[in-house]
């Protein structure tokens, strides 16, 4: 069995495991579980972890150039080893989005907008969970999920009131992730708008429109017909 | 009567209803009304609601593909049903702006700037009203309209001093709307400037100017005259 | 005497008056003057005001279409009438920058960067003066010029720590101006960088370079030489 | 010996001196040294300073147009003279990055992203050191390196919670540098994304693709073959 076939086989199971992890993790953190429910949630989380670990090890053993694969997939290793990076398992969901999009076949700009909206929403949700998980029980101001969500929104938009902020190292690491996500969010929104405005401004004045391949093709047809006329002479 | 005629008929009445709603809502919240004035303001707000409800129901019944229309107009349903989303009725005013612009016939960039300036001003005003409506009487720091306006400016520009911030869920929902508006504001301002600078940089050096349809058309004329000369031979 | 000649005549005196105003205003606010120095500073400020008033009135009387000029120069009227808008007299300095630039003849992007750097520095300085002028003696946290400058930097970059913020309506109006300046600053910086990167990316791969007028001109020369060869036959 | 040969000779020693300075400075500030280690760190810092001073003086004496070189290298003078600007010696490391990149030969956009990531990380690290150096022992809230790093991240992303902020003039100067770095960071991220999206949107629809030099070259080949056919006749 080669690596590509394994990856194709595991694409959907891993995406589903990521969803299962998201649900169990949300339930565990929001519900602040104890007793049997805590055991159930923990079991699901450990099971998804086992699946990711197996996937990592099989990929490593099947890779044609094992050392190169290891070197270029250090993030995957970190996600499997460090419990703190557990939420990054959700990166697997990017695969689902890709599948959804391949079906829809919309324009690139529309695709970018959907990705960004989806990724931002997921980032806000997961950051709220992770920050609450890190901060609860400490001196920090974030003590329930509503506060976590509000804090994540205030941070990703780079507003930063300062009414809530993390005080533990783990919480601050989550915050740095959300801030970088915020810079990326502003960047993608602006870039998509810029691409749209540049296009619209170009389209407004027909003569000042940027020359496209279609225009050049028209010209080439013109020259070719000239050539054929010459041949007929 | 078909749906298009109904929509054309209701375009201006709904825009006027949105303005009437804006005035009544501003009066109600800023004046912190009680007694007869409160009744008058409430009556205007309920009347505009009734108009929006009738418009929604008529549109639903006239739509050729009723289920598709329902599915693609879930926001309209939410605006009619949820009192919290009442301020979104002002989205109707976008229609007025469109009409104003159709008359002016200015360039696309000018249009975008006017839209953004108008929409930002409206968003700041309405957010100040909505946040004051939600926060007044609670523990929060926003207790008069001046504070609401100041908070809305500090938030939409993503500065976020933290001297005023909402503490109620409704107020925080309004804040999320303003923050998203702020990201969009930065995006549109930047994108418009980028489109302008790209154009100016291109125009500065004649030879390095991007080839436009006009240039290609000049070339096509050249080739055609060559063809005609050949025919004359 | 027509309006154009008057404007050409007054261009430099008004720019100098703006500089004189800037110095006197800076001295007055930073020095927190009293006694004779206060009188001197006040006199300079009132003299520059008189010059701006005379310029406004003469322009109004010389304008060919008086009402149109009045309507399109409401900002000039506001600057002359409202003492609060006095710092806007510095907009006159934009003229100096324009003169400096006409001499240098640099590329458009360089021009934009110089303008933005100059305008941002001036905005930070003037905002620090204006906010200190409004806040000093009130409950607010901004009580000396260093705090004003620090606040202006924190605001124009949209960081907004919240350690200092204005509490008077005038101070908050100044703050709104600085925030809008901050949005514009981010926009211009980003747009200039975008224009530069788009150009560099295009230039990196010769074949994928965007077609320019120079390329089209090369083609036109090619076709013309073909035409001449045909004539010679 | 001419200036160019000197600069080529000193390129690597100065970069290494910058790295040595970074390590010694980090050790000194984070370790809050005293006794022999403090002497070692101080010695390294003074040695790198001496190297930079010698380089400045030799460059000045070797420059063909001494006054012009002096005038266009005021920043180098400031870095050598003002102890406060010591961290700017790290600008030398930009040379290393350039060398790394020349080897890799990646596309321009990739290069920009690597530069920005590297420069941002360095800026955050150095700013955390510099602000801690300035603030420690004062009333300010930043008293250990972790707080400095957290503050630098919160500032460069323009979030600005306000939980930590500098209170000394030197610390605030560092903060202004980080804020300007933040604006530049947002700008570069957005601009790179914009360039990428503009390209992708253009590539999606073949006919609406912007005309490139490759398309024009195809046309020129077409016209030339036409010309050759005519000659053969």
- Per-residue pLDDT reduced to its tens digit, C71-111: 888 888 888 888 777 787 777 776 666 655 554 434 677 77
Q: What is the reported pLDDT for B166?
A: 94
pLDDT digits (tens, 9 = 90+) for B88-131: 777 777 665 665 555 443 467 777 787 888 889 989 999 999 99
Say if CB C190 and CB D182 are below 8 A apart.
no
CA of C164, closest CA in chain B: separation in Å?
A: 8
Average pLDDT over every residue of C62-79 = 87
Question: Which residues from chain B sit within 8 angstroms of residue C194, using beta carbons?
Answer: 194, 197-198
- Band the pLDDT of B74: cuts 50, 70, 90: confident
Please name the residue of chain C whose CA is at the shortest distance from the CA of residue B219. Answer: C220
pLDDT value at A8 more than 50: yes
- Band the pLDDT of A210: cuts 50, 70, 90: low
Among D182, D188, D215, the residue with its CB nearest the CB of C193 is D188
pLDDT value at A166 more than 90: yes
Question: Which residues from chain A sit within 8 angstroms of residue C211, using beta carbons?
Answer: 211, 216
* Residue among D14, D202, D33, D162 at smallest CA distance from D95: D14
Say if CB C62 and CB C1 are below 8 A apart.
yes
**Does the beta-carbon distance from C191 to B204 stay under 8 Å?**
no
Please name the residue of chain A whose CA is at the shortest distance from the CA of residue D201. Answer: A108
Q: What is the reported pLDDT for A125?
A: 94
Structure tokens at C143: 């009580």
Among D183, D188, D219, the residue with its CB nearest the CB of C157 is D183
pLDDT digits (tens, 9 = 90+) for C119-149: 899 999 999 999 999 999 888 899 999 999 9
Domain ranges of chain C: 1-105, 107-233
Greater model confidence, C164 or A209: C164
**Does the beta-carbon distance from B187 to A193 stay under 8 Å?**
yes
CA of D102, closest CA in chain B: separation in Å?
A: 27
pLDDT value at C230 more than 60: yes
**Does the beta-carbon distance from A219 to D218 stay under 8 Å?**
no
CATH architecture of the domain formed by B106-233? Orthogonal Bundle (1.10)
Q: How far apart are CA D230 and CA D228, in angstroms?
A: 5
Q: What is the reported pLDDT for C231?
A: 66
Q: What is the reported pLDDT for A213?
A: 65
CA of A100, closest CA in chain B: separation in Å?
A: 19
Give the DSSP per-residue string, chain B. --HHHHHHHHHHHHHHHHHHHHHHHHHHHHHT--SHHHHHHHHHHHHHHHHHHHHHHHHHHH-SSHHHHHHHTHHHHHHHH-GGGGGGGGGGHHHHHHHHHHHH---HHHHHHHHHHHHHHHHHHHHHHHHHHHHTTSSSS--SHHHHHHHHHHHHTT---SSS---SHHHHHHHHHHHHHHHHHHHHHHHHHHHHHHHHHHHHSSTTSBPBHHHHHHHHHHHHHHHHHHHH-
Structure tokens at D62: 């070797």
pLDDT > 70: what percent of chain C?
85
Q: What is the reported pLDDT for D103?
A: 42
Q: What is the reported pLDDT for C98?
A: 60
For residues A48-76, b (16+ Cβ closer than 10 Å) or e, as one string?
bbebbeebbebbbebbeeeeebeeeeeeb
Question: Which residues from chain D sit within 8 angstroms of residue C229, using beta carbons?
Answer: 227, 230-231
Q: How far apart are CA D156 and CA D148, in angstroms?
A: 12
For the ranges B77-86, B160-169, C35-44, D43-52, which has the lowest average pLDDT?
A: B77-86
Please name the residue of chain C whose CA is at the shortest distance from the CA of residue D171. Answer: C150
Greater model confidence, D104 or A73: A73
Structure tokens at A71: 């070197």
pLDDT value at B132 more than 90: yes
For the ranges B12-26, B158-172, B195-209, C35-49, which has the lowest average pLDDT?
A: B195-209
Among A194, A210, A216, the residue with its CB nearest the CB of C194 is A194
* Residue among D23, D96, D21 at smallest CA distance from D53: D21
Average pLDDT over every residue of A93-104 = 56
Determine whether C33 is exposed, middle or buried from the number of CB atoms within 10 Å of its CB (0-12, 13-18, 19+): middle
Structure tokens at B76: 């309209």
Average pLDDT over every residue of A32-52 = 90
* Residue among A88, A85, A86, A117 at smallest CA distance from A100: A117
Determine whether C232 is exposed, middle or buried from the number of CB atoms within 10 Å of its CB (0-12, 13-18, 19+): exposed
Q: Which helix (H) or strand (E) holds D6?
A: helix D3-31
Which of D213, D221, D224 has the highest number of chain C CBs within 10 A, making it the mutation to test binding with C? Answer: D213
- Band the pLDDT of C167: cuts 50, 70, 90: very high
Say if CB D115 and CB D185 are below 8 A apart.
no
Say if CB B157 and CB C179 are below 8 A apart.
yes
Q: Tokens 């007028």 sit at which residue?
A: C213
Q: Tokens 């699901």 sit at which residue?
A: A44
Residue C212's beta-bridge partner residues? B210
Say if CB B141 and CB B165 are below 8 A apart.
yes
Q: How far apart are CA A156 and CA B188, in angstroms?
A: 18
pLDDT digits (tens, 9 = 90+) for B208-230: 556 666 667 777 777 777 767 66
Q: What is the reported pLDDT for D211?
A: 64
D212: helix, coil or strand?
A: strand
Candidates 3.40.640.10, 2.40.160.10, 1.10.287.70, 3.10.20.440; CATH matching C107-233: 1.10.287.70
Greater model confidence, A44 or B99: A44
CB pairs < 8 Å spanning C and D: 121
**Does the beta-carbon distance from C189 to D187 stay under 8 Å?**
yes
CA of A111, closest CA in chain C: separation in Å?
A: 21
pLDDT > 70: what percent of chain A?
85
Please name the residue of chain A whose CA is at the shortest distance from the CA of residue D200. Answer: A108
Report CA dihedral (C220, C222, C227, C232) to the nearest 10 degrees: 150
Question: Which residues from chain D sit within 8 angstroms of residue B190, using beta carbons?
Answer: 190
**Does the beta-carbon distance from D159 to A180 stay under 8 Å?**
no
- Band the pLDDT of A57: cuts 50, 70, 90: very high
Q: What is the reported pLDDT for B173?
A: 92
pLDDT digits (tens, 9 = 90+) for B157-208: 999 999 999 999 999 999 999 999 999 999 988 888 888 877 777 655 544 5
Q: How far apart are CA D125 and CA A196, in angstroms?
A: 37
Greater model confidence, A205 or A165: A165
Q: How far apart are CA A38 and CA A59, in angstroms?
A: 32
Which segments of chain C are extended strands (E)? none
**Does the beta-carbon distance from D162 to A160 stay under 8 Å?**
yes
CA of A97, closest CA in chain D: separation in Å?
A: 18
CA B161, distance to chain mean position in Å, is: 26
CA of B33, closest CA in chain C: separation in Å?
A: 24
For the ranges A51-55, B44-48, C77-81, which has the lowest average pLDDT?
A: C77-81
pLDDT value at A60 more than 70: yes
Question: Which residues from chain C sit within 8 angstroms of residue A207, using beta carbons?
Answer: none
pLDDT value at A178 more than 70: yes
Handedness of CA A100, A105, A106, A109 (dihedral sign): positive
Average pLDDT over every residue of B37-63 = 91
Structure tokens at D198: 């503009």
Q: What is the reported pLDDT for C146?
A: 93
Enumerate residue ranges in chain D where pLDDT < 70. 94-107, 202-215, 227, 229-233
Structure tokens at D13: 């020693």
């Amino acid at each position: 069995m080669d690596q590509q076939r394994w990856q194709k086989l595991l694409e959907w199971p891993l995406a589903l495991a990521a969803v299962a992890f998201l649900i169990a993790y949300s339930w565990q953190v929001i519900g602040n579980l104890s007793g049997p429910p805590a055991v159930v949630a923990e079991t699901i989380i450990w099971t998804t972890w086992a699946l990711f670990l197996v996937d990592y090890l099989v990929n490593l053993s099947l890779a044609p150039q094992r050392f190169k694969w290891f070197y270029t997939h250090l993030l995957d290793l970190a996600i499997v080893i460090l419990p703190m990076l557990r939420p990054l398992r959700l990166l697997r969901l990017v695969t689902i989005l890709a599948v959804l999009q391949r079906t829809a076949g919309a324009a690139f700009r529309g695709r970018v907008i959907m990705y960004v909206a989806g990724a931002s929403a997921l980032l806000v949700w997961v950051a709220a969970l992770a920050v609450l998980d890190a901060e609860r029980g400490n001196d920090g101001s974030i003590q329930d999920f509503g506060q976590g969500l509000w804090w994540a929104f205030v941070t990703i938009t780079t507003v930063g009131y300062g009414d809530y902020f993390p005080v533990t190292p783990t919480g601050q690491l989550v915050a740095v992730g959300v801030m970088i996500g915020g810079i990326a969010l502003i960047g993608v929104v602006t870039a998509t708008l810029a691409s749209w405005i540049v296009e619209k401004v170009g389209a407004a004045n027909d003569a000042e429109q940027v020359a496209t391949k279609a225009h050049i093709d028209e010209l080439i047809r013109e020259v070719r017909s000239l050539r054929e006329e010459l041949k007929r002479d």
